[in-house]
Amino acid sequence: MNEQFRVAHKLGLMFRPETPLPDDVKSWAISQLHSKSPALGFMLVSRGTNTPIQEWPRELQPSLNERVQMWRTFWINEDLARAKKDGQDSASKQNENRKNLWGERDELKFVHRNIYGEDQLRLRFMAFWINHFTTGNIFDNINTIGHAMDTVVLANLNSSFSDMLYKSTTHPSMLTYLDNIWSSGENSAEARDARKNGFQAGLNDNLGRELLELHSVSPSAKYTEKDIRNAANVLAGWGIELKRTDEWMRSQGADISDYSNLYKKRWAEPGVKNVMGKVINQGKGGLRELTDFLASHDHTIKHLSTKLAQHFVSDNPSKSDIIYIENAWKKSNGNLNQIHTAVIERAILSKEPKFQWPMTWLFQTLRLSGATFVHGWDDLNQDRSIFKRLMRVDKIFVELGQSFWSARQPDGYSSDKAEWISGEMFERRIRFSEAIYKAGRPQYNTIQIMDRIGAGAPTRKLVDGFRNEKEKFIALMCSPELMGLENV
């Protein structure tokens, strides 16, 4: 594989056929960190005509406040449908009502972006951080995950890790996913009143635990259960069940001017807290004190430098790779531009192959071949017959075994190839390659693709051993070279 495509395979999503190859691939890769990131896609594919790639319409990218109103509408209609109890008709109305949730549109936008976006390295780093700050579809959280991708991760790729950590922790998708919306301090007004009235209310430590274990310092920091509980007390009061009315939110002491910054004063634990030796003041500002402390902690830097190296540089990164990224982190005080630049430099320097996630492999396959394997945005509301030829994106992710919208464990998807290299997972890639060839209608044949990427002799020999173009396409896309099992 030539150097441009070797780098694009490890760090990006591969160059689309119409994209000229850069002469200086390292400068190009670093410049990608500052490229524009519009949500690109297309429409009208169901009518047999591909219109030019263009930005997604504003009405298909609602704000968080707009999403909250959609969510409330969903729950009102859901309750009405259940109340009627009219069998199949009720079930039909409930299914129709699910269109008020926004997950299907966000999944399609994510896929469009990764297939047609020019900011391929930014999109790869976005996927890494989305996975690091895992959320999932619990309590119809599917409505907010896409918003977190845009406003928490993509919008902060050029900021600091401290900013990203804080904004991830306070976003409704995270607060809902890890049950913090029901957590109240043991000495809060909410808990005291509940006990007086014979009800239960108290602390939920899910988010406090994952904030330490997964999102920042990791167990290597040897924090205690008391530290976890105190972190949970700092988080007590953050987040609201979004189907609640504005009146109820105000009654709990919440400022509803910004739904991404909701804090219920009545649920907050009074007094200072101590987390891993750091004294945290009471009140809403205490959480920023905590996340800033964790973001700059030596164990956080080591944990995440190792994780970045394994995801982008090598399945088994060297100690020098990790230390290089750590040093960039420390010198820049957690500036993500500098951290990502260090990752790029080590990934280019390393000649080790990098096995790719199923979704990354799928996007690379579609970009290389020019195939159209997903529907356009107008098909969401108009011509659903497109699904007779092309799979819905949510089903694609289910079949791949990897989705950022699924209900899953908070530790996210592993970057270890051992998790993805089973016979079953390989068979899925074979089936997808065949489906892409049949339904996606690739615009370029295997010889054209191999010539453009500079495929190695073993790959060409493998492909030439098959009798027809469909089999050759499958062999190429599932070859060790394009799967990241070896450099050729």
DSSP one-letter string for 325-392 = HHHHHHHTTSBHHHHHHHHHHHHHH-----PPPHHHHHHHHHHHHT---S--GGGGTS-GGGGGTS--
Q: Which of 296, 299, 266 is nearest to 284 (CA)?
A: 266
Residue 461 has which token pair? 């020999």
| 100 pLDDT more than 70 | no
Please list, residue by residue across 176-197, b when 16 or more beta carbons sit within 10 angstroms of its beta carbon and e when fewer do.
Answer: bbbebbbbbbeebbbbeeeeee
Q: Which of 150, 122, 115 is nearest to 42 (CA)?
A: 115
pLDDT at 257: 84
- Rounded to an integer, the average pLDDT of 100-105 is 81
| 30 pLDDT more than 90 | yes
Q: Report in angstroms the alpha-carbon separations of 130 from 139, 364, 396, 410, 432.
A: 19, 19, 19, 11, 24
pLDDT at 95: 55
Q: Distance between CA 277 and CA 109 in Å, rounded?
A: 43
- pLDDT tens, residue by residue, 218-276: 999 999 999 999 999 999 999 988 888 889 989 999 988 888 889 999 999 999 999 99
- pLDDT tens, residue by residue, 304-319: 999 999 999 999 999 9
| 15 pLDDT more than 80 | yes
Q: Which of 81, 59, 83 is nearest to 70 (CA)?
A: 59
Q: Distance between CA 146 and CA 217 in Å, rounded?
A: 26
Tell me how long the chain is.
Answer: 488
Domain range list for the chain: 63-99, 170-295
| 89 pLDDT more than 60 | no
Amino acid in the structure at residue 336? L
Q: Distance between CA 361 and CA 348 in Å, rounded?
A: 19
pLDDT at 394: 87
pLDDT at 64: 92
- Rounded to an integer, the average pLDDT of 362-386 is 82
- Rounded to an integer, the average pLDDT of 4-9 is 97
pLDDT at 488: 64
* DSSP classification of residue 160: B
Lowest mean pLDDT among 33-47, 292-306, 371-385: 371-385
- Residue 37: count other Cβ atoms within 10 Å of its Cβ: 17
| 49 pLDDT more than 70 | no
- Rounded to an integer, the average pLDDT of 196-203 is 83
- pLDDT tens, residue by residue, 304-362: 999 999 999 999 999 999 999 999 999 999 999 999 999 999 999 999 999 999 999 99
- Is the separation of the CB atoms in 35 and 118 below 8 Å? yes
Helix (H) or strand (E) run with residue 280 in it = strand 278-280
- Is the separation of the CB atoms in 2 and 429 below 8 Å? no
What distance, in Å, lies between the first and last C-alpha atoms of the chain?
6
- Residue 417: count other Cβ atoms within 10 Å of its Cβ: 19
Q: Distance between CA 404 and CA 394 in Å, rounded?
A: 10
Q: Distance between CA 372 and CA 264 in Å, rounded?
A: 47
Percentage of residues of the chain with pLDDT beyond 70: 92
Averaged confidence pLDDT in the chain: 91
Residue 143 has which token pair? 């409505």
pLDDT at 86: 56
| 387 pLDDT more than 60 | no
Lowest mean pLDDT among 71-80, 341-350, 471-480: 71-80
pLDDT band for position 210 (50/70/90)?
Answer: very high
Q: Distance between CA 444 and CA 435 in Å, rounded?
A: 15
Q: Report in angstroms the alpha-carbon separations of 34 from 37, 233, 414.
A: 9, 38, 27
Residue 3 has which token pair? 């150097």
- Residue 416: count other Cβ atoms within 10 Å of its Cβ: 13
Which of helix, strand or coil describes residue 313? coil
